[in-house]
Structures are given as structure tokens and as C-alpha cells.
Amino acid sequence: MSQPRDARHGTVLFAHGSRDPAWAAPIEAVAARMRSLAPGTLVRCAYLELTAPDLPTVVQALIDEGARAITVWPMFLGVGRHAREDLPRLVAELRLRHPDVPIHLQPAMGEHPAVLETMARTALSGSSP
């Protein structure tokens, strides 16, 4: 089992959102798995549109829970307009609103080498989930 992250560090899993409530299940499952792997981890999901909560609400909640630094992981496979324009603008606004809390924006999750490796191996396996 992994070591717990510093409880003063918050993580936001940021996704697009959808009118279909079931759409958020995989993102919420990642957050639940993170909590399982590292109990005490401050992790929440936030959505750009159509699904609540939004990024400003989640960042404020993490700060209220004691986070003194926050990392935002875009749960996108690639870098489209939302990841390239909308999210950096939102993060810049949050940095202005919370100048004492470092907010780090990661690249799109789908560009992470470990994620690419897992997707390739899964596709090659030919097995169903």
C-alpha cells in the first residue's frame, strides 16, 4: 500500500461533466481508489460544466478541509480547448483568489506515460474488463 499523502495537500480530479449522472462514475471511482490506497488523502472531483461541483467550489472545500497546496489533474485523454484554454484560465483565477495556496496544474491525464502504457497494455490484452 502507498504511503498517505501529506494531508495538507489536496488533489482535484477535473473532468468535463455530462447531463448523464452515470457519466461521473469512473472519475469518482478514481477518487475512491486514491482514498483506498492512501487513507486520509484529500481528493475531490470537479467538473467544467453540466455536473456539480465546479472547480472553484472544490478548491474552496479542500482549503476548508486544511489543504495548503492543491494539484489539479485534468482527467482528459488529450489536450482540446477545455484543457488548453478553459482550465488554465480557471486555475489562474483561483490562484488570484487564493494567493497563499499553491495550485499546480498537471498535463492531461491521458498524456501521462503510465496512463498511455496501461491503455496500450489493456488494448493488447484483448480481454474485457
pLDDT digits (tens, 9 = 90+) for 99-114: 999 999 999 999 999 9
In a domain, 1, yes or no: no
This prediction has a pTM of 0.88
- Residue whose C-alpha is closest to residue 13's, from 48, 33, 43: 43
Per DSSP bridges, beta strands 69-74 and 103-105 are: parallel
First to last CA, the chain: 23
* The pLDDT of residue 7: 61
Q: At residue 1, does pLDDT exceed 80?
A: no
In a domain, 78, yes or no: yes
Q: At residue 6, does pLDDT exceed 80?
A: no
Which phi and psi (to 5°) does residue 79 adopt? -105, 95
- Residue whose C-alpha is closest to residue 105's, from 90, 117, 126: 90
* The pLDDT of residue 120: 93
Residue with cell 489536496: 10
* The pLDDT of residue 81: 74
Number of domains in the chain: 1
CATH, residue 73: 3.40.50.1400
Q: At residue 83, does pLDDT exceed 80?
A: no
In a domain, 86, yes or no: yes
Model confidence pLDDT, tens digit, residues 13-44: 999 989 998 999 999 999 999 999 999 999 99
Bond preceding residue 129 cis, omega within 30 of 0: no
pLDDT, average across residues 51-63: 97
In a domain, 35, yes or no: yes
Q: At residue 96, does pLDDT exceed 90?
A: yes
* Exposure string over 60-98, b if 16+ CB within 10 A, otherwise e: ebbbeeebeebbbbbbbeeeeebbeeebeebbeebbeeb
Domain carrying residue 84: 9-125
